[in-house]
């Protein structure tokens, strides 16, 4: 098994005819994902990387059975693209798009929840299950199949850490990039139960950053409901208060949201904390449960 996507996931790409949509369609297919359709209004009947393009999401779903979407639509139109996908019956949307207006995302979040649809993102690298499927832009070369789950707010840190795990001779079950905006569709607390239930995940690497309370909320959940080992890293220990560092959600305000407060909360519930990203692979190897009989 894996988290949210598997070999049977049928992926639609909204905005497939744009440069980013085309490039990442090629990469998703090379990873092994079933990219079955694209949707760009007015471009129906074309083919991109061997994938048929339709004028609407409804038409794409009706003809191909797509059940997940990867959205590359520009920010002013991302809300309409997502709402269209939900109305067409899709229940997993990875939104790569950056700079989606705050109020648009609030509408998307609540509409998706009301219809039972899950958003990954926005402003995120997506999700990958090595050997099974990928929806998003995470580089193919950093993965190998294994039993380590990764859930992260940072895109580039995700790539570095996943690659380090691979170079240690280990592999990943599922890697989930949540995105770094103030409002995201899936939080740590939403993601951790999925990894808890996944029989192919033995340990989870949690990658946080300054700003907000997502990591403290995750620590509370871990303390009460999560039984698997957790290796944690929080970026931004040297960030000055009140200054945004990288992501719109990475702002320390009024003494809250600091890296130290987050790390302290995670340590208090038994997470194994790394001070630097390069320490994570060794901690993973140390605390990853060994198969019985070894």
Query: Is 210 in contact with 234 (CB distance < 8 Å)?
Result: yes
Give the residue from 258, 246, 156 showing the smallest Cα distance to 207.
Answer: 156
Give the residue from 85, 135, 73, 76 showing the smallest Cα distance to 112.
Answer: 85
Element holding 47 (H helix, E strand): strand 47-48
Give the residue from 53, 51, 59 showing the smallest Cα distance to 40.
Answer: 53
Beta bridge partners of 151: 176, 206
C-alpha to C-alpha distances, 237 to 133, 146, 220, 242, 252, nearest whole angstrom: 34, 30, 21, 13, 11
87 SS3 class: helix
Q: Is 247 a catalytic residue?
A: yes
Q: Which of 24, 110, 225, 247 is catalytic?
A: 247
Is the bond into 145 cis (omega within 30 degrees of 0)? no
Q: Are strands 172-177 and 51-54 parallel, antiparallel or unpaired?
A: unpaired
Distance CA 189, CA 6 (A): 21
Give the residue from 196, 187, 184, 209 showing the smallest Cα distance to 266.
Answer: 209
List active site positions.
247
């Amino acid at each position: 098994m894996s988290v949210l996507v598997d070999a049977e996931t049928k992926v639609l790409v909204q905005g497939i005819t744009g440069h980013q949509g085309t490039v990442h369609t090629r990469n998703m297919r090379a990873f092994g994902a079933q990219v079955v359709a694209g949707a760009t209004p007015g471009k129906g009947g074309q083919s991109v990387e061997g994938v048929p393009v339709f004028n609407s999401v409804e038409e794409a779903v009706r003809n191909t059975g797509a059940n997940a979407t990867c959205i590359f639509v520009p920010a002013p139109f991302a809300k309409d693209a997502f709402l269209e996908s939900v109305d067409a019956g899709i229940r997993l949307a990875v939104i790569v798009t950056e700079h989606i207006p705050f109020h648009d995302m609030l509408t998307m979040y609540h509409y998706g929840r009301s219809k039972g649809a899950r958003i990954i993102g926005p402003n995120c690298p997506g999700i990958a299950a090595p050997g099974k499927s990928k929806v998003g832009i995470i580089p193919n070369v950093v993965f190998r199949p294994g039993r380590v789950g990764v859930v992260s707010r940072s895109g580039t840190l995700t790539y570095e850490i996943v690659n380090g795990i691979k170079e240690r001779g280990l592999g990943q079950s599922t890697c989930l990039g949540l995105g770094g905006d103030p409002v995201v569709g899936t939080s740590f607390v939403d993601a951790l139960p999925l990894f808890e239930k996944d029989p192919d995940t033995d340990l989870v690497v949690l990658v946080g950053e300054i700003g907000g309370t997502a990591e403290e909320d995750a620590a509370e959940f871990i303390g009460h409901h999560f039984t698997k080992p957790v290796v944690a890293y929080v970026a931004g220990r040297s960030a000055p208060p009140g200054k945004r560092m990288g992501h719109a959600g990475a702002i320390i305000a009024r003494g809250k949201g600091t890296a130290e407060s987050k790390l302290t909360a995670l340590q208090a519930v038994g997470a194994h904390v790394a001070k630097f990203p390069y320490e994570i692979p060794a901690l993973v190897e140390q605390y990853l449960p060994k198969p019985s009989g070894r």
